Structure formats: structure tokens, C-alpha cells
Amino acid sequence: MSLGFQEVRLRLPHIELAAHLYGPEDGKPVIALHGWLDNAASFARLAPLLPGLRIVALDFAGHGHSDHRPPGGSYAIWDYAHDVLQVAEQFGWQRFSLLGHSMGAIVSVLLAAAMPERIERLALIDGLIPYTGEPDTAPQKLGEALKAQLALAGKSKPVYAEFDRAVAARMRGVGAVSREAAELLAQRGLMPVPGGYTWRTDSRLTLPSPLRLTHAHALAFVHGLQCPAKLVMAEQGMLLAQPKLNQLVEGLAIDVVKLPGGHHLHLDDDAGAGLVADCFKAFLDAP
């Protein structure tokens, strides 16, 4: 596995983000977006298998080595879309493609539908639309979110006495991953603290959403896509486990490929990364 990349920090007008840069400077521009609580290492296996592309694999705000949102700030999913646009502005990219996994795929869909003039192509890995909420549940959900915000100050992150214990915990976490994948994510996502290691991620990322898009909202974004889109669905992933999403995908003008593997099939092993790369090579490099 080749891990050749350049580590950079991007000073945006409102926040500083970290990223890994892959490929030649004159390659076709692609911004790669990882999943919730992951980081740029999510693309450590896949990006080197996509030659000819200039891939900016971001650490989302609050993740990896990127800055956290300011005190009082939140992590609404549409705020990530703004961050991505600012990254593109910094590179001078008026048109670019998006390679997104899980939450990163969802952000990609939102941005591509909202700003079709900016997005060339969408390459999505086991992610499409956010969890939704209907109007009648909104007051309850907001109340739960406010209570969780008040309680956050009294909570502390877990501290792992040894690196391997943190790796084991990540293997069992949301979107369970292989040991090698967990090690890659942990190497970038952990920081030393008294007593061992803890995650760099902002604790606010674990708070419940105060407001969710309705199902109709989510559908409007998916149906509003104007660029070519290709979706890889993992056979043991999260999308195929949701019957309603399966039905939704069947009615969309999106090229869907089902591959063996779990939610992180692009990171779990070289074989999975190779299969995903084979799906996206020609697609992302197309004129």
C-alpha cells in the first residue's frame, strides 16, 4: 500500500483545515470527503490507486488535524458544504469533482445539488442522504439536542492507556472497520494526553442534531443532481441494510455498483480499495 501524499493546512476565511494532497498538480481536481468521526486517512488506500487526479483529502472541521468550530458553533451538515467550497476557492477550482464516503457522500450530494455549476462529477461510497426527521418530531428532537448540549460540559472523552486499545475501540465503533483501517484512522485521529491517548475529534460531533431535513427535503437534493453520479454500495454496508434507501436508489439516475465488503470497503483492505478504484478511475478522469 502506497501512502504517498503531501500534508497541508488550508487557511480559509473562517477556519483552518488540514488535508492530504495526492497526485500531480495539473491533475483533474477532486475533493475527497470522509465519514463521521473519521479523517483524511480514510482515503489512504484508495487515493494512490486513482492516478492522474489531484485529490485533496480533507479532515472535516472538528476531525483529524483540522480546527474545531469556535465556541458556540455547531456542526450542521450544510456547514461542511460551505467549507468545501472555500477549499475549492483556495485552490482556484471553479469546477471540481467530489469523492465522498458516508457523511462525506451526503455532503457531496447536498453541495452538488445546491451548486451544480461548480461540481463536475460525484463518486459516492456507501452514502447518499442524511438521516431525516419529520415536522411532528421536531420539538422533541430540539429539546433532546438542547439537553445534550447542556450536559456536554460534564462529560469527558475516553482515555486509552495504550494505542492498541484505542484501535480496538475503533474497530467496534460506528461503521466497524478492519484492524489495519482502524490503525490508519487512529494514527491520524489520536493525540497523547495524561494517562494515554484520546481522540482529537470535537466532542460536539457526538451531539444529536437539533434539526433534520425532512424526507422530502432529502429527495429534493437527490433529484436535483445535474452532474454524472456513481454510487458504490457495500454488500455488508449501511445503505443496503435500509430498504427505503434501496427503493430510492432504484428510481434515480445514478450509476449504482454493489461490491463485497463493509461500510469502509475502500479502507479495510487492498482488495476492497482496488475494487472501488476500478469503479471510479475512468469515471473521475472522464472529460
The CATH number of whichever domain residue 239 belongs to comes to 3.40.50.1820
C-beta of residue 102 within 8 angstroms of C-beta of residue 36: yes
**Given the residues 74, 102, 156, 209, the one annotated as active site:** 102
pTM (predicted TM-score)? 0.96
Could you read off the pLDDT tens digit of each residue along the chain, which spans 287 residues?
445 899 999 999 999 999 999 999 999 999 999 999 999 999 999 999 999 999 999 999 999 999 999 998 889 999 999 999 999 999 999 999 999 999 999 999 999 999 999 999 999 999 999 999 999 999 999 999 999 999 998 889 999 999 999 999 999 987 789 999 999 999 999 999 999 999 999 999 999 999 999 999 999 999 999 999 999 999 999 998 888 777 788 778 899 999 999 999 999 999 999 999 999 999 999 98
Identify the DSSP state of 239.
S
In a domain, 165, yes or no: no
**Does 15 fall in a domain?**
yes
Asked whether residue 41 is domain-assigned, the answer is yes
Active-site residue 209, yes or no?
no
Domain count, the chain: 1
Quickly tell me which residue has 467496534 as its cell. Answer: 172
Q: Is residue 148 part of a domain?
A: no
Q: Which of 256, 260, 257 is nearest to 235 (CA)?
A: 260
List the end-to-end C-alpha distance of the chain, in Å, as a whole number: 28
127-138 per-residue burial string, b: 16 or more CB within 10 A, e: under 16: bbbbeebeeeee
Is residue 87 a part of any domain in this protein? yes
Contact between residue 12 and residue 86 where contact means Cβ atoms under 8 Å apart: yes
CA dihedral 186, 169, 203, 91 (to 10 degrees): 30
Whether residue 97 lies inside any domain: the answer is yes
Return the number of other C-beta atoms located less than 10 Å from residue 257's C-beta.
13
Structural domain boundaries, residue 92: 6-133+200-285
Does any domain span residue 256? yes
Q: Which residues does residue 198 pair with via DSSP β-bridges, in sequence order? A: 191
Q: Identify whether 140 is part of a domain.
A: no
